[in-house]
Structure 1
Amino acid sequence: LIILLLTLLGCSSSFKILVYIPKFAISHIKFMGVIADTLVDAGHNVTALISEMDASLPDGAKKAPVIRISPAEGADHMNTHFMVGDTDMFEMKSFTWSTTIENARHNSVSFCRQCRKLLTTPGLVEKLKEEKFDAMITENFENCGVGLSHLISPRSLIVVSSSFIMHGEDIGVSQSYVTDKTAMSDGRLHNSIYARFMHIYNVLLFRSFLAAQDEPLQNVFNEIYPGTPSFSKLVSNSAVVMPNNEPLMSIPYSTLSKIVPIGGITVGKPNKLNDHWNSVLSLRPKTVLISFGSIAKSVLMKPARKNALLEAFSSFPRYNIHMEIREYDRRLRHIPSVQSA
């Protein structure tokens, strides 16, 4: 039996795979990077196409050879536009129609600028097509990779998502108006008629968000490569769809045989803490970790909100509170129980 298994392993196929990694948010980058590295570990010939909207962010992939597209001018717009003027991400009305569509358009500015540079890089599309990839893996949130798949003609397009399924209606699993999870709502908290109506509103809002985000990018493809099919058409023909969710913890939803959940793929194996972090986490009996994500930076908080946090942290002297703080934001540093990163 062992000899047979070794023989089968020796005959196993190694596929040639292109993984598209646009650098605009840490969670997306890490997810795509782990996919690339996992495939390398499995023995496949993987190339990471890294499009640097924000060059300050990490690459994500650590083991695959990289084709790098340097940042286009203004490609980091989606991460910087809200820092102009007196903007507090914590006070924005996120679920209003106008604000949501405005955010989609800001995202699209970055996506269009960087994708245009990728598509017009001399010889790049032709080189990728000549590689004759067996598969191309890309998210269908920023759809430059989806459109690129048509131009380079891999044998299969594999669509992934660092959160839940995007553009489910294109895949064949439309979001439910009754109970479902979207970027705008949880889907489980329907304890009133109002909550049910809000869920319907949020489903429609998220679809409009994606449409407003995709349309300008689709126009870029139509301009540079006329006749490029719609992103919806390309996604509908994908061979496999892999969302980063855990079925045992998710709301039940309709599915297809080509949908393969890969929830938890970015969760690494626990490692022993180094001396520094071991000493930090041993300062008090309990530890609380606080991070607001890559967009809502603590330095942009209004003074009243920061003071409220200061007061709240000070009332828990037995807790070691570890909070992500920018180097130039020192308002929270004088509290003994707060450790900054």
Structure 2
Amino acid sequence: MNFKMLSLFHILFLISSGSAFNYLVVSPGFGHSHSTFMGKVADALSDSGHNVTVLTILINSKFRDKSFTKSTKDIVYVDSNEELDRLTDLMESGDFSRFWTEEGSMLETIPSYQGFMKMFERVYANLRQNLHVLDELKTNRPKYDVIIFESFMFMAKAVQEYLEIPVFIPVTSVTHDNKFAELSGEPVSPSYLSGYFTNFGNVMSFQERLTNTISYFLGKIILQYPKWTTLQDPTKPLEIETAYHRAPYIFINSNPYIDFPRPLLSKTIQVGGLTVDVNKLKAEKVDENWNKILDQRPHTVLISFGSMFKAIYMPDSYKANFVKVMKSFKNVTFIWKYESDDTSFAQGADNIVFSKWIPQTALLADPRLSAFLTHGGLGSVNELSYFGKPAILCPLFADQLRNAKMLARHNGSIEITKFDLADYETLRSAIHRVLFDKSIAKNALNLAKRLENQPMKPKELLVRHAEFAAQFGEHHGLDCNIRNMSFVEYYLLDVIAFISAIAVFVLVLVFCFVRKVIGALGKLKKD
């Protein structure tokens, strides 16, 4: 009996091995949310029995010791260098910290995007110096069927060519990427879809639409994709913009039950929520230390501004007001993710718990946590949506502004501006509302129920489409011709001009005919 069972298991193993595909997932070693999302992509495929390698192109060395996968064990690194480490540390402490006080307007945001593009130039140059890593993949791994990478990781296209991988699937860890969407043939209009330098939501005033339109065309001029050459031939241009439309699918970190509705291509697959496994996370329990903290008072509020926008760089006026507001809530414990041991600005505030690290998902899953004050990063927005947790959204930069509006429209959260952090009445009113307005908690739970019962789960969508792409390759039938249309063709200006010309011609004929008839009648009358 045991022999038969072993033989059966052996046969099943051979069958499953034969049907498994080989995926290379390229992940950026910079930015917690990006790395987490790509790690979940890799794990989803590994959990389904496929062979997955994660190629982490480190942009900062400190990400080498961090693990963003669980079931995927084959992790390969392209190491960073001192120049990249210095550049990214400077961006974190200087470039990002300025957005605590700046509006984050169109003109203020442009230098940050240009800085990112310059950084990727250096990343690609560093990859050229580490081709032995790719050579090892060629030699020691089976030939990959599909490469999956974030759309802004342009160097992954060079990796695809170098390793001769037939199929690629681009991914965005944000809700949308305007330029990339256009290259794929997806309709992108500034009348309803905010761009890189504006984040207004989908209902805009005239002034917002005007600003958004200027931003849209400015983005087309400024945000050019790099002009690189291939890794194997420095004289051959690397296809980036001209190649993206060939992808059989595009995975975007958007969920139709959270995001603003908009027209999408059939090849655009919404996998927002992939990073949140509610059942698994609900099974997580906080340790004894956090357990005691959650039991201290009737209400507990978590405060975190993510990994890139550190609270230590928050202006002193914001910190002082924060402490003043928190002190006024005697029955509320505030857990504040703060990256320094120097918390002297909060002396006498015994209801504030500072911590450099917090078990965010375990805390969100705990019913004793009453609310979450967050910067509106997409990872946090997805997590609190799935857990049905009331929230205060305080966006600082870029897509966080859109994320805040996106979630606030479901009425389970409150949106404030970063400048409100210095206003005692506004901040206190927001915290009081999110804690004691029962309708907010009710709406947050309603959204969580919809997400829990959505017809197709994000993980299933990703795996099925990734498998289909590996099996059948590029789908030319899904290539939308919008990307080839000129401005005149897309907006039917030539058709409108033609119909208008005919209409004018007919009107002229009618006018001439009527004029002749009137003239003839006048002549008859005279006769």
Distance in 1 (alpha carbons) for counterparts of 2:344 and 2:191: 44
Does 2:57 correspond to 1:51? Answer: yes
Which moved further from structure 2: 308-317 or 202-211? 202-211
Q: Of the candidates 314, 330, 338, which is equivalent to residue 352 of structure 2?
A: 338
TM-score under structure 2 normalisation? 0.57
In the alignment, what sits opposite 1:23?
Answer: 29
2:160 aligned partner, one-letter code: S
Q: Of the candidates 156, 160, 183, which is equivalent to residue 167 of structure 2?
A: 156
* CA displacement at 1:292 relative to structure 2: 1.6
Distance in 1 (alpha carbons) for counterparts of 2:96 and 2:157: 36
Matched position secondary structure for 2:297: coil
In the alignment, what sits opposite 1:314?
Answer: 327
Contact 2:158 2:231 in 1 (8 A): no
Which moved further from structure 2: 131-140 or 225-234? 225-234
In the alignment, what sits opposite 1:288?
Answer: 301
Does 2:249 correspond to 1:256? Answer: no
Distance in 2 (alpha carbons) for counterparts of 1:266 and 1:91: 31
Matched position secondary structure for 2:317: helix
Contact 1:29 1:59 in 2 (8 A): no
Contact 1:160 1:242 in 2 (8 A): yes
In the alignment, what sits opposite 2:473?
Answer: none
2:68 aligned partner, one-letter code: G
Distance in 1 (alpha carbons) for counterparts of 2:322 and 2:230: 46
Q: Of the candidates 133, 138, 155, which is equivalent to residue 144 of structure 1?
A: 155
Distance in 1 (alpha carbons) for counterparts of 2:274 and 2:115: 30
Deviation sequence 1:282-320 (CA, Å, 0-9, x none)? 222222222222222121122222212222222222222
Q: Of the candidates 240, 243, 260, which is equivalent to residue 252 of structure 2?
A: 243
Distance 1:272 1:221, change over 3 A: same
Contact 1:75 1:114 in 2 (8 A): yes
The residue correspondences of 1:1-341 to structure 2 (distance < 5 A) are 10=15, 13-57=19-63, 58-62=66-70, 63-76=72-85, 77-81=87-91, 83-84=93-94, 88-97=98-107, 99-129=108-138, 131-166=142-177, 167-183=180-196, 184-190=198-204, 192-207=205-220, 210-211=223-224, 214-215=225-226, 218-219=227-228, 225-268=234-277, 269=280, 270=282, 271-331=284-344, 333-334=346-347, 335-341=349-355
**Structure 2 gap segments, 5+ residues each:** 1-7, 356-527
Contact 2:312 2:340 in 1 (8 A): no
TM-score under structure 1 normalisation? 0.86
Distance 1:69 1:149, change over 3 A: same
Contact 1:78 1:106 in 2 (8 A): no
Measured on the aligned residues, the alpha-carbon RMSD in Å equals 2.9
Distance in 2 (alpha carbons) for counterparts of 1:328 and 1:71: 29
Deviation sequence 1:58-88 (CA, Å, 0-9, x none)? 2312323111111122213244235359963
Contact 1:23 1:51 in 2 (8 A): yes
Distance in 1 (alpha carbons) for counterparts of 2:23 and 2:88: 29
* CA displacement at 1:149 relative to structure 2: 1.9
Distance in 1 (alpha carbons) for counterparts of 2:185 and 2:270: 16
Distance in 1 (alpha carbons) for counterparts of 2:46 and 2:337: 32
2:52 aligned partner, one-letter code: V
2:321 aligned partner, one-letter code: A
1:338 aligned partner, one-letter code: I
Matched position secondary structure for 2:19: coil
2:38 aligned partner, one-letter code: M
Distance in 2 (alpha carbons) for counterparts of 1:46 and 1:193: 48
Structure with more helix by fraction: 2
2:353 aligned partner, one-letter code: Q
Contact 2:106 2:215 in 1 (8 A): no
2:73 aligned partner, one-letter code: A
Distance in 1 (alpha carbons) for counterparts of 2:135 and 2:13: 35
Aligned length: 331
* CA displacement at 1:203 relative to structure 2: 3.4
Deviation sequence 1:306-340 (CA, Å, 0-9, x none)? 21222222222222211110124424553222222
Deviation sequence 1:239-282 (CA, Å, 0-9, x none)? 21110111122222222222111110101332222222222122
Deviation sequence 1:14-37 (CA, Å, 0-9, x none)? 001101111110000000011111
Distance 1:290 1:224, change over 3 A: farther
1:241 aligned partner, one-letter code: I
